Amino acid sequence: MTSVTHSSTDPRTVQLTEDGKLRHFLTIGGLNKAILEEILDTADSFVNMGEQSVKKVPLLRGKTVVNLFFENSTRTRSTFELAAKRLSADVLNLDISKSATAKGETLKDTLQNLEAMGSDMFVIRHADSGAQHFIASQVTPNVAIINAGDGRHAHPTQAMLDMYTIRKHKGDFSKLKVAIVGDILHSRVARSQVQALNMLGAQEVRLIGPKTLLPATFAEMGAKLYTRMEDGLKDVDVVIMLRLQKERMDGALLPSEGEFYRLYGLTTEKLNYARPDAIVMHPGPINRGVEIESAVADGPQSLILNQVSYGIAIRMAVMSMAISGQTQQKVQQQLSAQQSEDDNEEASA
């Protein structure tokens, strides 16, 4: 891989080492197709671990991962914690509401204290866009920062588990039309998804929603904007629904949830506009009867629960690559060695 020239004024370039390896994972922007594909390929090595009798590998043994969630999250924090434990890392979940930051200590002081304890990685969710970029500029070079969602800006691991889901079930991105539907305005997931889909060469990326939740700036990112479900869903291969983020809405951006569901909720009838073999996805948590019908969420085209399972593998891939510079080849070699060891133990038992 070609070397990467860093610029101290561009926070995105901090993500890669001089030889092009992943150091932090802050945003899809500033990365490249090769890195994204390496993440997906590395996740392939981990995706079936949940079915094994021993669900751990020693890739991060002796490393310490700290989960710093300044916003509530169940699914994301749980999958990051499980991913770290499956890699044999020590995990510390910091309760921000009870931490020293709630007593007046600055975030920088908190980070420095955690670094002094020998932490190797911070997984951070924060309400302020760009918070993780700031933190990445403050930590010592041996500490990796993973963005678990910042404001409206980015959620790169969610986007990558979505890309993994699409690739596993639909194959070549260049042949795919993908529709993202709902609250685009407040969605950090949508921004990361559009970047990743374009970087991986998707044929077409469509965004569907009411004008009040559909920023024109997304057209500059290479997406096509639609305000009618019938038009936006026509012949698409993938439909990704988004949650209405009412907690981030200022003013009356919607007439009512019922009206939103009537126009933009994914029902069996509306899904018929997509291709017959289209897959349905949702980053969760889902609101049944608001953005998606239960018959669709639980139906044969839905991959919503698959996304959760794939999320563990993607986060294992990102963590192993960022902390120890593991490549997909090295990961596969260590997994094969671990499997041989397990087989020998079973044979001698």
Q: Is 155 annotated as a binding residue?
A: yes
Q: Is 149 annotated as a binding residue?
A: no
Half-sphere exposure of 343 (CA within 13 A, CB side): 6
Q: Is 285 annotated as a binding residue?
A: yes
Q: Is 76 annotated as a binding residue?
A: yes
Q: Is 268 annotated as a binding residue?
A: no
Q: Residues 6 or more apart from 242 whose CB is under 8 A from it?
A: 180, 181, 182, 183, 184, 187, 189, 190, 282, 283, 291
Q: Is 284 annotated as a binding residue?
A: yes
155 touches 149 (CB < 8 A): yes
Q: Is 215 annotated as a binding residue?
A: no
Q: What CA–CA distance (Å, rounded) separates 228 from 241?
A: 14
Q: What CA–CA distance (Å, rounded) separates 173 from 189?
A: 18
Q: Is 126 annotated as a binding residue?
A: no
Tell how strand 121-126 and strand 238-241 pair up: unpaired
* Phi-psi domain of 222 (left: phi exceeds 0; alpha: psi -120 through 50; beta: other): left
Angle at alpha carbon of residue 192, lines to 9 and 92, rounded to 5°? 80
Q: What CA–CA distance (Å, rounded) separates 264 from 182?
A: 7
Displacement of CA 154 from its chain's centroid (Å): 9
Q: Is 243 annotated as a binding residue?
A: yes
334: which 2 tokens? 């260590």
**Gyration radius (Cα) of the chain, Å:** 20
Q: Is 52 annotated as a binding residue?
A: no
- Residue stretches of the annotated binding site: 75-76, 103, 125, 155, 158, 188, 243, 284-285
- Residue stretches of the annotated binding site for carbamoyl phosphate: 75-76, 125, 155, 158, 284-285
- Residue stretches of the annotated binding site for L-aspartate: 103, 188, 243
